Chains A and B, each alone.
Chain A
């Protein structure tokens, strides 16, 4: 039994060390690429070097003769086997009542290729290097077509899918345009801004990987995959793509090295590995290189927007109008359509009482890899729109940006609050977060700090971002009515073993978030048993009840609530057993701190005794089933609404345009917190990704050739330790009112809040209205040239 660290208690609220860390720190984690199966073969994909081309022919004759080649499969083989298209699981209905255009997305292209990196064939060989060498020998004859990669002009560019005229996926609206136009016309002041939300490559440090395996004896497939949601992957592979009964496909997502959204989706590669494993009768393994990851992992963001905010003479917001073009890439990925619509426009009220809001999103196809959910998914884009336009309005009007926000905040007594964009915020206290953040950064002292910087040849700026997000997408009936193809509940099974240890099976999936620890704290506290006695099991469809996985900061709010519910069932059953053993009425049994007690007496039985009785039911209540193993499915009544204020302070070197973050304060309201250490870590990581977006990370496709220019870490700038400061993180708390734990979710907050805070600080320092992200030294230097 490995040492699991110094555990002081391990209940809810303790910053207990993580159970998973021993194996990670000693190199004993098991990631997908660490797994090797008997008789395994290696897959290498032949990928399109062109952004847009017709495939005239694929010649595999030379490659098939190469050393070690087992099989070479092409799109034609998939067509022959009737392999289905990869799907988008959320049908967004446009302003005319029509569903989105979801053109075919064959896992192996057989007719045209639509982005650089599109799969054309797979070479399967005895060794990886043999597969690589043979892949070089596959000759594809392409007729190169004009590429269309630019978001803003995609609608007038070369057509990519015959099913989507003008490359329009959908033209979607939320709100009443006429009302908003009228309110803007009647406003004392209207602020307008063009906003680009730059395209990002998620870059979890573990590249995607998959192993497909087919057991002829049982007819069962196994897919090891770097997935954030193994059941969803199984559902899509079985029901839509490969036509396998769910009983015959086991998906295992072992240790997964980060996801940030990019590992939610069902991709061509795992599909191909599973399919090919039966065709060749041997396991097929594929591991992405980083270069392939840049070309094929779903990217994030990529919006071009025009925004108008109306204000009355008192500085109260009167209306917000947002017109956005959102890049979907070449194909509609698994949840792509929902991101710039239901996860974006619905958050445009922010923390404010803006009475009318209209959003129009035109989703467009381009010859780029698919764009889908990336940490925050729609909500960072919404926050960036709201917090940039609010800041800009304050500057235009010459009012303190903090005060303008304060004036427009939804007040604590207004909850539950119905926004004009379809959400009901259950609780919050936005001023409390703002005040705390302003106090931490010494807002009042900023002018003096600025003067000091000026004296040293530095421009100093301060930027506020008061964000809100919606986590735990729910309830299922509502998301269903909006086009979601799945329910968004979560499952949990709490299984006591006879000797008192507990296995918690969760349908959510941990890829860095620490579920094995936080969920154990939750169950241990609820059941009144030692933290050490709880083991969390996740990531294997053959062990865990159907679950929806981890994304959208949903794991604790939805998955944790399911565990809470399953524990409730355990306790209810335990009360019946306890009542029998204690010779009392069930109604008189109380449960606290791991003990069942007859109310008003000292008669008591410990949880472990009850569990033992349930498994050895020699003296047992009639009509009660033996065993102590309960399952719950939790479907939330509403989203949760984490919110807070981040403030960034920067110093800019006038000579070079280099921005240094000199201070960062984050005050977040995540509701109740299970493990503050883990929560703070999530905030740090989120901020770093937001800083990356704002300062460092730009994804560039060449407009003529459609080549990905930023295809490696040589050109795509990942945040490094010396790019970032330490962060000052604190919290305020208003408990979520509608889930049993009062929790909200913390995974995405930093990535949502950070970009606006930083760009507001940089524009404050430079005097520019806007500086495009990433605010590279040259862009900042140019902003300084133009504004000083």
Chain B
């Protein structure tokens, strides 16, 4: 079994993984971080989105062995203690979530999407979130949340 070392939410972790272990399974099962969810098996729903080296990726479509040496951030690593990240706060303020299942992936995608674009337009947000499916909100308040989050995050 190969061994991997990575930085997960700012913490160095290492250990052996089976080659077939998907990144999402490594996060959920090996690291017991259950905020990253699995909502489909065709790489489309985006519930599993995490950041690898600063970019949003679908952790269901990467192998754990592929993040050896990388920095991985999951939803659990976004807030600072009990202080929410501006994007999380924007989702709360704007009712950008209902059942909460797609939310971790949606927030992680949103943080990556708006980086450096505080004035992102509604169209850019809607197109930029095509890899994240939400069944509850109709996206209306997600779009508002992302717009507010972008402003709060600044440039």
Q: Do chains A and B touch in the complex (CB under 8 A)?
A: yes
Chain A residues proximal to chain B, CB less than 8 Å: 2-3, 5, 17-18, 20-31, 33-34, 129, 203-207, 255-258, 260, 289-291, 511-514, 677-678, 680-681, 684-689, 712-714, 718-722, 724, 726-727, 750
Which of A26, A204, A720 lies in contact with B75, CB distance below 8 A? A26
Query: In the complex, A719→B135 CA distance in Å?
Result: 8
Which of B41, B84, B129 contacts A289 (CB under 8 A)?
B41
List, in ascending order, chain B residues with CB within 8 A of A677's CB.
95
A688 touches B126 (CB 8 A): no
CB contacts under 8 Å to A, within B81-116, are 82-84, 88, 91-93, 95, 97-104, 107
Q: Find the B residue at minimum CB distance from A292.
A: B41
Please encode chain B, from 4 to 40, with 1 for each CB lying within 8 Å of some chain A CB and 0 for all others: 0000000000000000100000001000011111111
Do the beta carbons of A713 and B95 come within 8 Å of each other? Answer: no
**Bound complex: CA of A255 vs CA of B98, how far in Å?**
11
Q: Which residues on the B side are within 8 Å of A23 (C-beta)? A: 100
CB <8 Å contact, B83 and A722? no
Name 5 extra pairs, CB < 8 A, besides A685-B135, A727-B140.
A204-B101, A205-B136, A719-B138, A720-B130, A726-B122
Contact B100 A714 (CB under 8 A): no
**A22 touching B92, Cβ below 8 Å:** yes
Identify the closest chain B residue to A713 (Cβ): B44
B56 in the interface, Cβ–Cβ < 8 Å?
no
CA distance in complex: A678, B97 (Å): 10
Q: Of A34, A206, A720, which contacts B99 at CB under 8 A?
A: A206
Q: Which residues of B contact A289 (CB under 8 A)?
A: 41
Nearest-neighbour CB distance to chain B for A40, whole angstroms, equals 12
Q: With A and B bound together, what is the CA distance between A25 and B84 in angstroms?
A: 8
Shortest CB distance B91–A (Å): 6
Q: Is the CB of A713 within 8 A of B35?
A: no
Q: Which residues of A contact B93 (CB under 8 A)?
A: 17
User: Are A25 and B92 neighbours in the complex by a CB distance under 8 Å?
Assistant: yes
Question: Are the CB atoms of A34 and B34 closer together than 8 Å?
Answer: yes
CA distance A255 to B140 in the complex (A): 23
Bound together, the chains give a CA A684 to CA B78 distance in angstroms of 28
Majority DSSP secondary structure for residues of A touching B: loop
- Taking CB atoms, residues of chain B closer than 8 Å to A291 are 41
A722 to B141, CA, bound (A): 13
B45 touches A26 (CB 8 A): no
Determine which of A25, A207, A678, A686 lies in contact with B91 in the assembled complex, contact meaning CB atoms within 8 Å. Answer: A25
Which residues on B sit within 8 Å (CB–CB) of A207? Answer: 38-39
The 9 nearest A-B residue pairs measured at CB: A27-B35, A257-B101, A24-B100, A512-B99, A688-B138, A27-B75, A684-B138, A512-B98, A34-B34
A-B contact pairs, 20 of them (CB 8 A): A22-B84, A22-B92, A25-B107, A26-B78, A27-B35, A29-B35, A204-B101, A205-B47, A258-B101, A260-B135, A290-B39, A290-B45, A512-B100, A681-B141, A685-B136, A713-B40, A721-B132, A722-B123, A722-B130, A724-B126
A255 touches B100 (CB 8 A): yes
Query: Hey, which chain A residues are within 8 Å of B52, CB to CB?
Result: none
- A511, B99: Cβ atoms closer than 8 Å: yes
Known A-B contacts A18-B92, A26-B79, A512-B136; the reply to A720 vs B97 at CB < 8 A is no
Most A-side CB within 10 Å, residue of B40, B47, B91, B104 = B40
Enumerate chain B interface residues (CB-CB to A < 8 A): 20, 28, 33-42, 44-45, 47, 74-76, 78-79, 82-84, 88, 91-93, 95, 97-104, 107, 122-123, 125-127, 129-130, 132-143
Residue of A nearest to B128 (CB): A721
For the complex, give the distance between the alpha carbons of A30 and B37 in Å.
11
Q: Which of A28, A512, A714, A721 contacts B42 (CB 8 A)?
A: A714
**A203 vs B99: C-alpha distance when bound (angstroms):** 13
Complex contact B141–A256 (CB within 8 A): no
**How many contacts between A and B, using CB within 8 angstroms?**
180
* Nearest-neighbor residue (CB-CB) of B105 within chain A: A205
Q: Known contacts A25-B107, A27-B76, A713-B44: does B99 contact A724 (CB below 8 Å)?
A: no
Q: Which residues in B have their C-beta under 8 angstroms from that of A688?
A: 137-139
CA distance A22 to B78 in the complex (A): 12
A2 neighbours in B (Cβ, 8 Å): 82
With CB as the reference atom, state the residue of chain A lying closest to B99: A512
Please judge, given known A-B contacts A681-B137, A713-B133, whether A205 and B143 are in contact too, CB under 8 Å.
Answer: no
Residues in A with CB closer than 8 Å to B103 are 24-25
Contact, CB under 8 Å: B133 / A718: yes
Contact of B95 among A678, A718, A726 (CB under 8 A): A678
Nearest opposing residue in chain A for B133, CB measure? A718
Pair A513/B98 contact, Cβ less than 8 Å: yes
Q: How far is the CA of A49 from the CA of B137 in the complex (A)?
A: 35
* Given A5-B92, A27-B76, A258-B135, A721 and B35 contact (CB-CB distance below 8 Å): no
A755 to B49, CA, bound (A): 32
Asked whether, in the complex, the Cβ of B82 is within 8 Å of the Cβ of A722, the reply is no
Q: Using Cβ atoms and an 8 Å threshold, which residues of chain A touch B75?
A: 25-27
**How many angstroms between the C-alpha atoms of A154 and B47 in the bound complex?**
38
* Contact (Cβ within 8 A) A20 B100: yes
Contact between B41 and A205, CB atoms less than 8 A apart? no
Whole-angstrom CA separation of A2 from B44 in the bound complex? 32
Task: Please give, as numbers and ranges, the residues of chain B lying within 8 Å of A720 by CB-CB distance.
Answer: 129-130, 133, 139
A558 to chain B minimum Cβ distance, whole angstroms, is 20
In the assembly, what is the distance between CA of A713 and CA of B134, in Å? 13
Contact A205 B138 (CB under 8 A): no
**A722 in complex: contacting residue of B100, B107, B126, CB < 8 Å:** B126
A25 close to B97 (CB less than 8 A): yes
On whether the beta carbons of A257 and B34 are closer than 8 Å, the reply is: no
Q: How far is the CA of A724 from the CA of B129 in the complex (A)?
A: 12
Q: Are A18 and B20 CB-contacts (below 8 A) given A721-B125, A722-B127?
A: no
Contact (Cβ within 8 A) B33 A712: no
Alpha-carbon separation in the docked complex, A2 to B107 (Å): 19
User: In the complex, what residue of chain B is closest to A715 when comparing beta carbons?
Assistant: B42
Contact present for A205 and B135 (CB under 8 Å): yes
CA distance A746 to B45 in the complex (A): 26
Residue of A nearest to B78 (CB): A26
**B131 to A, closest residue via Cβ:** A720
Partner among B33, B92, B102, B122 whose Cβ is within 8 Å of the Cβ of A27: B33
Tell me if A31 and B101 are in contact (CB < 8 A). Answer: yes
Which of these, B88, B102, B130, contacts A205 with CB under 8 Å?
Answer: B102
Q: Which residue among B126, B135, B139 has the maximum number of chain A CB atoms within 10 Å of its CB?
A: B135
